[in-house]
Amino acid sequence: MEARDERRLLKLQRDLQAVRLLIVDELGYVPLSPTGAELLFEAFSQRYERGSTIVTSNLPFQDWTSVLGSERLTGALLDRLTHHVSILTLNGDSYRLRQSVSRQPATTGGAEQNQANDESIDPETGEIVTG
């Protein structure tokens, strides 16, 4: 969107088409504006069958509409993105959370205490427990 506002969108689109591998990390972490979703769709469409793209997301495909804001746009994007691909589904604990928990000194009860807001992290499940 910045490139569009600064009148350099066409150059950015050409640059994105030219890279051999485009990595979009954590798609869905923040919902996109309608314009942002359309620009992302354009970028993926322009790369379709021309370059490799890796997308990471913590959302299943059925939840992408909440990020992209339109069922039609989401369907069209997923149609292009999932054609000729390998989809890897990874489940498990967050390595960042595991590292954070392992750096904390152990407390009674098997959970790490956060004194500022009386929350704890259960090291077995990684869930935040309040109270």
User: What is the value of pTM for the model shown?
Assistant: 0.68
Phi-psi region of 72 (alpha: psi -120 to 50; beta: other; left: phi over 0): alpha
Per-residue pLDDT in tens (0 to 9) along the chain, 131 residues:
899 899 999 999 999 999 999 999 999 989 999 999 999 999 999 999 999 999 999 899 999 999 999 999 999 999 999 999 999 988 877 778 888 888 887 654 544 444 444 555 655 555 666 65
**Pick from 71, 72, 66, 80: nearest CA to 32:** 66
pLDDT tens track for 1-15: 899 899 999 999 999
CB 84 within 8 A of CB 94: no
Kindly list the structural domains of the chain, giving each domain's residue range(s) and its CATH number in brackets, ordered by start. 2-81 (3.40.50.300), 95-130 (no CATH)
The single residue listed with the structure tokens 């793209």 is: 53
Using alpha carbons, list the distances in angstroms from residue 103 to 6, 97, 114, 115, 123: 44, 10, 13, 16, 12
